[in-house]
Structure 1
Amino acid sequence: MQRQPTVLTVEDESAIAEVLRYNLEADGFRVLLAPDGEEALLRAIEELPDLILLDWMLPKLSGIEVCRRLKARNETRAIPIIMLSARADEVDKVRGLETGADDYMVKPFSVVELMARVRTQLRRTRPASVGERLEYDDLMLDAEEHRVYRDGKQISVGPTEFRLLATFMEKPKRVWTREQLLDRVWGRDLYVETRTIDVHVGRLRKALMVHGGEDPIRTVRGAGYSLG
């Protein structure tokens, strides 16, 4: 089973934060909460969530400033940010988007529409987590049916190897460190030794070459692994 996508919800109104938490968890997301801008910045950098719901008006540090700082950092730049704000003027929406927000919703908002927008953003950055089909070269991964094919032939892989392959196929040619793979595949709440990665990559390689063909996974000495 694919690791739950993590959503950092930054909201100082506890009632709204609870509504967001309830609906996100009901839809299968892991939720982190931050009540102010400073904590939001720290949690985003420490946890590297898959998506951030960010209120504009926050204590200590505004949502606009949090967004600006996160988009300026290499490690957090690619995290989708949906800004939530009571500011309905077009100039405010433009400002939010120009600061780096990937989407902007005006309060009060429809929870159903918000969840749809969350999935739209994740479809772009973590397609396997929302059941998308991934293809690269002669590989095809069907996240909804949990099946893997190479050159049209189905391949049997274990659940951990499936998550590894999904991670590789979401960003082909990206070099993943062992620590990044541990976080993405196992999650930060579970302690796993980094050498465990090598064991599972070995199993994945064996499975992918069961019908022949070249090894699609590249070992990058001193760095980690990459697909293609």
Structure 2
Amino acid sequence: MKTSRKFTAAIAALSLVAVSGCVTDPNTGQQKVSRTAIGGIGGAAAGALLGGLIGGRTGRIVGAVGGGAIGGVVGYKMDQQIKQLKDQTAGSGVDVTPTDNGTAILLNLPDGVTFATGSYDISPGFQQVLDKVAANFIQYPNSLIDVYGYTDTVGSADSNQRLSEQRAQAVANYLISRGVNSGRIRWMGFGETHLKVQTGDGVAEPLNRRVEIKVIPISQQDIQAAQQQQQGQ
């Protein structure tokens, strides 16, 4: 019965958002449902929209806040952040898109520009782009940041796994070196286990070689819920 009531309440809240929570997206100029309104639905409903976090959500939020990260209003500011990231990385090959049903931001860093073949040293020319990304993350401190490394299927699985980890760690460390709070950042390598395209022809393989940065906004509600959950453990 309790579950039914919670589900009904969540549906009602979503219906209310649909009719009353509209804003103008600065990226498109079109009307859309406000992420601020989505963020106010409640912990259970909003949490269900978010993808997983490296190391778990509750501990990550509490740790990040302890390191100086703050919660904010998730909504129009996120749209502004996406627009700024697109402007700051224009022409670099970086792809900036909303993800997780519009509740997070994903940056796809191109392999051939970010790293030389088989290397995990960030290319000097790309460091300027990451400098701008880091400055953006500092400007918008109300988020957690996951860095993922991926490879293609060329070479052994073991070497690909190791390279994916090294590249993800290299990007994470670079962001930290530029002032991004280390408590906000985690990294993980996935090797060749999450291919973007299924191919063995060698033509589309570069699409599989990438580093992704996922930015997951956190609100004051998220912080309070995480702190209460940890205290109750």
Q: TM-score, normalised on structure 2?
A: 0.27
Bigger helix share? 2
Q: Which has the higher strand share?
A: 1
| Larger RCO: 1 or 2 (CA < 8 Å, sep 6+) | 2
